[in-house]
Structure 1
Amino acid sequence: MAKSARGRGSRGEEIPSLVDTSSLREPPSTARGARTRAALVTAARIVFERDGYLDSRLTDITAEANCSVGSFYTYFTSKEEIFQAVIEEVQHDMLHPGMPHLDPEDSVPAAIIEASNRAYFEAYRRNAKLMLILDQVAATDPKFRELRRRRSQAFADRNARAIKDLQDRGLADDSLDPKMTARALSGMVSRLAHYSFALGENYPLDALVETATKLWINALNLRAED
């Protein structure tokens, strides 16, 4: 059975999926079938990351999975569908770009910003090649681009609410527009990760975390709670 098309944030809000799971078939009913499908999904990720989405071929995926093209069509109808399955497997680990998580109920928001930035950078590093593939697919597929935009907007809205809460508690600069600030700061983190891990500039992880966290704190004029 396909997974839910939506996930939940830490406060229970729904986060749109990057995957239209309605197009995916029911999972195999046998252990052997499940292993074959899983092998195909693993192989597809390897091929997409190696060759790029546009240049990947079904025959390359089946060769990597050591199965026949006929077996492929038992589980998937197309390259587009198996790409959806790859994204379904990893989207929760990928963390949509630029979205460090602020918890407005935490009494030490600076520590939450630092921990969230670190988790995001680590996830991006694990999935850097696939993040490049997402950019490639978004450039050519309007439907996927819209799914990605909606997911990004949901995370930005969550961070904007957290920033507004910090402002209401007198901990952050209340002259800032929460939504625009969330977009700007989240985008900064996203681009730092992109240049370091996807484009190979290879900044040290600790330096990335320290710099991004200081910029968040300075931009918000974050103050300690009395």
Structure 2
Amino acid sequence: MTMTTGDGVAVEGIPSLADTSILREPPSTARGVRTRAALVAAARAVFERDGYLEARLSDVAAEAKCSTGSFYTYFASKEEVLHAVLDLAQSELLHPGMPRLGDDEASPAAVIEASNRAYFEAYKRNAKLMNILDQVAAIDPKFRELRRRRSRAFCDRNARSLAQLQERGLADPELNPHQAARALSGMVGRMAYYTFVLGEENSLDDLVRHATRLWVNAVRIGSAG
């Protein structure tokens, strides 16, 4: 069974949040590569510190210890450097999702638990960047559509996995798998947001335990473990 919970970035069959078509060709010199990399790292630091809306390109350049003119050698706008940040962050934001589940492997509840833990850990590592994604989606229709398509692709994967469990008699057959996947993935995502962005006091183990039990109870997969 392949399943993921909440939002993630760029796994096979999942659209990327980074629109790499707007990025310029990589620099051809070692110095250029270093300067561009410094600007991308600086942009992420400034976005996470000040927020995307308040971030200034002059601050990005200062963080990278270069001039604003140098910034424009590599990027045309704040939007472009954001997509460079997201392109670089793909592997950081990626969580492994749920592995294929065979008859001789772990129970569905155990696989759901492992996926939830991987998702929460990835979100915790990148909570500031995840908050930036919300800010940008609120003001940029193109980015909002990229995010919507990616979220839908993850939910479609969850729905297919849930349908497989239904076919095997391991989940509530009366559930609409797409509606259930959307609701449960959204629940896990909001649990992560309240804890790692808004700062509610919840331990990782408590998040995993409650998210898993809610998933398992909602789709009626026996015991949560």
Same fold? TM cut 0.5 = yes
Which amino acid is the alignment partner of residue 105 of structure 1?
Answer: L
> Is the contact made by 1:101 and 1:112 (CA closer than 8 Å) also made in structure 2?
no
TM-score (norm 2): 0.89
- Alpha-carbon separation, structure 2, partners of 1:88 and 1:171: 38
- Alpha-carbon separation, structure 2, partners of 1:105 and 1:145: 33
Aligned CA distance change for structure 1 residues 50 and 8 (closer, same or farther; 3 Å): closer
Q: What SS does the aligned partner of 2:14 have?
A: strand
In the TM superposition, 1:71-82 aligns within 5 A as 71-82=70-81
Matched, 1:101 2:97: yes
Which residue number in structure 2 is paired with residue 135 of structure 1? 134
Which residue number in structure 2 is paired with residue 3 of structure 1? none
How far off is 1:95 after superposition?
A: 4.7
How far off is 1:223 after superposition?
A: 3.6
Which residue number in structure 2 is paired with residue 70 of structure 1? 69
In the TM superposition, 1:25-36 aligns within 5 A as 25-36=24-35
Which amino acid is the alignment partner of residue 193 of structure 1?
Answer: A
- Alpha-carbon separation, structure 1, partners of 2:52 and 2:11: 28
Which residue number in structure 2 is paired with residue 85 of structure 1? 84
Aligned CA distance change for structure 1 residues 90 and 196 (closer, same or farther; 3 Å): same
- Alpha-carbon separation, structure 2, partners of 1:101 and 1:110: 14
> Is the contact made by 2:42 and 2:64 (CA closer than 8 Å) also made in structure 1?
yes
Which amino acid is the alignment partner of residue 178 of structure 1?
Answer: P
Give the count of matched residue pairs.
Answer: 212
Output one character per residue of 1:58-99: Cα deviation in whole Å (capped at 9) or x when no partner: 100000000111211111111110011111111343259xxx
Which amino acid is the alignment partner of residue 182 of structure 2?
Answer: R
Matched, 1:208 2:214: no
- Alpha-carbon separation, structure 1, partners of 2:202 and 2:195: 5
Which amino acid is the alignment partner of residue 215 of structure 2?
Answer: W
Matched, 1:151 2:150: yes
Q: Unaligned regions of 5+ residues in structure 1, if any?
A: 1-5
Q: Report % sequence identity.
A: 67
TM-score (norm 1): 0.89
- Alpha-carbon separation, structure 2, partners of 1:209 and 1:85: 32
Q: Which has the higher contact order (CA 8 A, sep 6+)?
A: 2
Q: What SS does the aligned partner of 1:206 have?
A: helix
Q: Give me the CA root mean square deviation.
A: 1.8
- Alpha-carbon separation, structure 1, partners of 2:26 and 2:66: 18
Which residue number in structure 1 is paired with residue 50 of structure 2? 51
Which amino acid is the alignment partner of residue 153 of structure 1?
Answer: R
- Alpha-carbon separation, structure 1, partners of 2:135 and 2:58: 21
In the TM superposition, 1:15-26 aligns within 5 A as 15-26=14-25
> Is the contact made by 2:123 and 2:192 (CA closer than 8 Å) also made in structure 1?
yes
Q: Unaligned regions of 5+ residues in structure 2, if any?
A: 1-8
Output one character per residue of 1:159-178: Cα deviation in whole Å (capped at 9) or x when no partner: 00000000001111111110
- The runs of at least 4 consecutive aligned structure 1 residues that moved more than 2 Å come to 6-9, 91-96, 100-108
> Is the contact made by 1:49 and 1:130 (CA closer than 8 Å) also made in structure 2?
yes
Which residue number in structure 2 is paired with residue 162 of structure 1? 161
Aligned CA distance change for structure 1 residues 26 and 15 (closer, same or farther; 3 Å): same
- Alpha-carbon separation, structure 1, partners of 2:218 and 2:195: 22
How far off is 1:112 after superposition?
A: 1.2
Which amino acid is the alignment partner of residue 113 of structure 2?
Answer: E
- Alpha-carbon separation, structure 2, partners of 1:20 and 1:87: 9
> Is the contact made by 1:104 and 1:162 (CA closer than 8 Å) also made in structure 2?
no
How far off is 1:103 after superposition?
A: 4.2
Output one character per residue of 1:16-54: Cα deviation in whole Å (capped at 9) or x when no partner: 111211110111112221111111011001100111111
